[in-house]
Amino acid sequence: MMKIDKDDLIEKVLIDEESLNLKIKQLAKTLNEHYADRDELILICILKGSVMFMTELAKNLNIETKMEFMSVSSYENNTYSSGNVKILMDLDIDIKDKEVLIVEDIIDTGYTLKKIKETLLKREPKDLKIITLLDKPERREVDIKPDYTGFKIPNDYVVGFGLDYNQLYRNLAYIGVVKRSVYEDIEEIK
């Protein structure tokens, strides 16, 4: 697939860097209060998109944390979820009787997160909560709700701050809306 220049890809900035940083600090403050009396919290980062969010969130937490990673796939080289969720990389530790927080970049249809939550609940954590940077409730196809949400966004294809287009643009310091013409052309080709 041909690389598209950032200026030809981004229609507009949806959430700027300053707003992202402020919201992450607010979320961390809420988590610090909620988990204040707990021994430790296990953060489970859903790769690859959630890395930047989890890193910034963790820097603002003053509670003992462990960082774990899961890699899952449901997009199968599409710009939309297929609903067929596969775990590509699992946790390295046992979460039984532990406080666990799933750290997600975006909740769209909800299929991926529902599968992850079901999988992790079978491992009997003491508590399992979900935090997402972005929530797209308009696209939800399954019943799943985050416990903590950064921003509710419209049904736009977004990139930046961990979210990608063709594995690129994750490193943008903001969340940008992809021009509809970019991904509509690709979907028509498939």
Mean pLDDT of 136-142: 93
- What amino acid is encoded at 164 in this protein? D
Beta carbons of 61 and 30 less than 8 angstroms apart: no
CA dist list (Å): 163 to 77, 127, 166, 168, 190: 14, 27, 10, 8, 22
Beta carbons of 65 and 79 less than 8 angstroms apart: no
Burial 122-151 (b: 16+ CB within 10 A, else e): eeebeebbbbbbbbbeebeeeebebebbbb
20-63 residue pLDDT tens: 999 999 999 999 999 999 989 999 999 999 999 999 999 999 99
* Residue in the structure block whose two tokens are 């992450």: 24
Q: Which fold has domain 18-154?
A: Rossmann fold (3.40.50)
Clarify whether 108 is annotated catalytic: yes
Residue 107 has pLDDT above 70, yes or no: yes
Which of the residues 105, 108, 143, 156 is marked catalytic?
108
Whole-structure pTM value: 0.89
